[in-house]
Structure 1
Amino acid sequence: MTFRLAASAALTATLLMGSPASAQTVFSASSWVPPTHTLSMAQKEWCDALEKESAGRMKCNILPKAVSAPPGTFDAVRDGLADISFTVDGYTPGRFVNTKVAEFPFLGDDSRATSIAYQRVYTKHFAPLGEHRGVKVLGVFTHGPGVIFNTKKPVLSSADAASLKWRIGGGNINDLTKLMGWNTTLKPASESFEMLSTGVMDGTLFPDESIASFKLSMIKHATTFPGGLYNTSFVFMMNPAKYDALSAQDKAVVDKLSGEYVASRFGAGWDKVDDASRDGAQKAQGVQRVTAPEAFINEVKAKQSQLEDQWAAAAEAKGLKNPKGVLAEFRAEIAKAK
């Protein structure tokens, strides 16, 4: 009897060794901001959800360093240097047109609401036009309301701003500041500390979060605008070949964790760190906050009106029907998402 049991156990072991283990799909995930930044943390949370929802069939390998400088991230994911990452659409000027709709001033004070509304408009109007052709879009989102930060003085007018040197991140804010005659340089967020600490730049346009995230202890002044001076359009994306190779079951998991799921997760994370930076780092370093006077707000509105007309013409030329109507729809969706 003992011999028969042993033989049976040996046969079972042989069969198990000969049967292939279920394959696990591992995605390489790249981030060009520190691991503690809200973008990196939201990406990690998404990866954790992916592993959980797929019962371990899919997981991420968070790479120790970015596979590309920020402006090259879109192409890096498209070409398979990384399977998953995010980028700022405005880091490659002129490449994306429709996405500028999410970057206009005065859209709202809540990143989550703006991001969800942006995702809805994107899915309905922009995705069918192939705005991000070449990658599998997992979701789009915006950061929190943009603020004017600097090391020198209160900025209460366009003339005040024009007397200083600014780092900006691209997109609509690049067009707006140039139209207003400000001295700006387009550089990724990750270069802000060096540019400000060395005095190459006097200030930067950022959401509140960035003062803490990038340790910008040299900032002393902030000018805020109702609804923000600007927003930044982001895309969270996957290499399309990696997605296409998945089983139908695993594609369904990825799809479930896409769209508004991404917009809500990234947006809510940004709101949380915006609040923490205002209440923590900025307060500790004595940042003096002022609200832009009405005259300054009206200066911005006048210039932005020209840019919205230019955007509408460019978007229509790219196939978007009724761009001004899409912008109105976007603003209505933001109000609904609050």
Structure 2
Amino acid sequence: MKFRLASAAILASSLFVGAGASAQTVFSASSWVAPTHPLSVSQKQWCDALEKESAGRMKCNILPKMVSAPPGTFDAVRDGLADISFTVDGYTPGRFVNTQVAEFPFLGDNAIATSVAYQHIYSKYFAPLGEHKGVKVLGVFTHGPGIIFNSKKPVTHASDAASLKWRIGGGNINELTKLLGWNTTLKPATEAFELLSTGVMDGTLFPDESVSAFKLSMIKHATTFPGGLYNTSFVFMMNPAKYDALSAQDKAVVDKLSGEYVARTYGVNWERADDASVNGAQKAQGVARIQASEAFVNEVKAKQAALEDKWVAAAEAKGLKNARGVLAEFRAEIAKIK
């Protein structure tokens, strides 16, 4: 009798443990950059916070390999190949319109201010219009100010850049460099090392961290701009079916860790990586840094004005009211966060 009671207790205990284990929600999280990159670091921090805030009811399984090349990541999350990931809006040209507001030149000098301000504008204006339809948006953010990097010579004017071959990541900077007459090719950041090391490209437009993150030891020259030559719009997202299947309690945890929490997490990590690259890899390999002259800045502004007009028309055609006012509000928000 005692044996039967003990056996029953053990069985009940195992069933309870099994039920508890099956009740845990595990999210597959995919990254297309190295684990040390600020994108991956931020995703891991978010996943750790998710597990802690949910008392272990939710956790992430960080996949050892990306489920898709960077341009296909949005669709991969939408279709459930991964539950969580991030991507660059500009990697799929023409797909997103409103997000281009975060890609314009001269927005800000650090990723924290631009990311948090972008999230505020996104939540207020873009999310209600269905931007990023097909995924559950956890947050949006930008990288640090975009810089001209190359292995050949100082770039002091637009004409200097026109004589070189460039890898760019898409978005507004793709259109801007075309207007400036530069020879550019749209490729993901992950291909930068091969393109530059083989001489297929002479340079790339990147934030500071990328010189270190992608081991671009061939870079010798950098041209910076006040507020950056460009920014890149990112989205951090979840498969909507995975979110919809959560309990109300667990949805509340995800929501708590969305929005500004995401923007600030990614912004802080990117800012740290930018600083580390400037004072580490770039200093070690002797990158010569110059700031764009007023004349160079004005060359860019002259071309960018037409692109902002084009964006205003396109955004308003998609339902955004007073797009020019939204852009002005975005710039004011960045200045306020500083």
Hey, what does 1:161 align to over in structure 2?
Answer: 161
Gaps of 5+ in 2: none
| Aligned AA (1:93) | P
More off after superposition, 29-38 vs 17-26: 17-26
1:16 paired with 2:42, answer no
1:282-335 alpha-carbon deviations (Å, 9 max, x no partner): 000000000001100000001111100000000000000000000011011111
CA–CA distance in structure 2, aligned partners of residues 92 and 125 of structure 1: 22
Hey, what does 1:274 align to over in structure 2?
Answer: 274
Hey, what does 1:216 align to over in structure 2?
Answer: 216
Residue 199 of structure 1 aligns to a residue in which SS?
Answer: coil
1:5-45 alpha-carbon deviations (Å, 9 max, x no partner): x7654443333334452211111000111111110111011
Hey, what does 2:114 align to over in structure 1?
Answer: 114
The percentage of counterpart residues that share the same residue type is 79
Hey, what does 2:70 align to over in structure 1?
Answer: 70
Hey, what does 1:186 align to over in structure 2?
Answer: 186
| Aligned AA (1:280) | G
Hey, what does 2:103 align to over in structure 1?
Answer: 103
CA–CA distance in structure 1, aligned partners of residues 7 and 113 of structure 2: 60
1:225-266 alpha-carbon deviations (Å, 9 max, x no partner): 000000000000000000000011110010000000000000
Mapping of residues 81-160 of structure 1, within 5 Å: 81-160=81-160
Hey, what does 2:253 align to over in structure 1?
Answer: 253
CA–CA distance in structure 1, aligned partners of residues 106 and 320 of structure 2: 23
CA–CA distance in structure 2, aligned partners of residues 103 and 48 of structure 1: 29
More off after superposition, 32-41 vs 202-211: 32-41
Residue 90 of structure 1 aligns to a residue in which SS?
Answer: helix
1:169-205 alpha-carbon deviations (Å, 9 max, x no partner): 0000001000111000000000000000000000000
| Aligned AA (2:104) | F
| Aligned AA (1:268) | V
CA–CA distance in structure 2, aligned partners of residues 187 and 10 of structure 1: 62
CA–CA distance in structure 1, aligned partners of residues 7 and 215 of structure 2: 61
CA–CA distance in structure 2, aligned partners of residues 14 and 301 of structure 1: 72
Gaps of 5+ in 1: none
CA–CA distance in structure 1, aligned partners of residues 200 and 103 of structure 2: 26
Aligned residues: CA RMSD? 1.1
| Aligned AA (1:189) | A
Change (3 A) 1:188 1:13: same
Report the alpha carbon displacement of residue 85 of structure 1 after superposing the two structures with TM: 0.3
Hey, what does 1:330 align to over in structure 2?
Answer: 330
| Aligned AA (1:33) | V
| Aligned AA (2:334) | I
1:244 paired with 2:244, answer yes
Residue 199 of structure 2 aligns to a residue in which SS?
Answer: coil
Hey, what does 1:34 align to over in structure 2?
Answer: 34
Report the alpha carbon displacement of residue 336 of structure 1 after superposing the two structures with TM: 1.6
| Aligned AA (2:12) | L
Report the alpha carbon displacement of residue 273 of structure 1 after superposing the two structures with TM: 0.5
1:133-176 alpha-carbon deviations (Å, 9 max, x no partner): 00000000000000000000000000001010000000000010
CA–CA distance in structure 1, aligned partners of residues 147 and 37 of structure 2: 18
Equivalenced residues, count? 335
| Aligned AA (2:266) | F
1:81-126 alpha-carbon deviations (Å, 9 max, x no partner): 0000000000000000000000000000010111000000000000
More off after superposition, 32-41 vs 10-19: 10-19
CA–CA distance in structure 1, aligned partners of residues 280 and 27 of structure 2: 35
CA–CA distance in structure 1, aligned partners of residues 55 and 156 of structure 2: 54
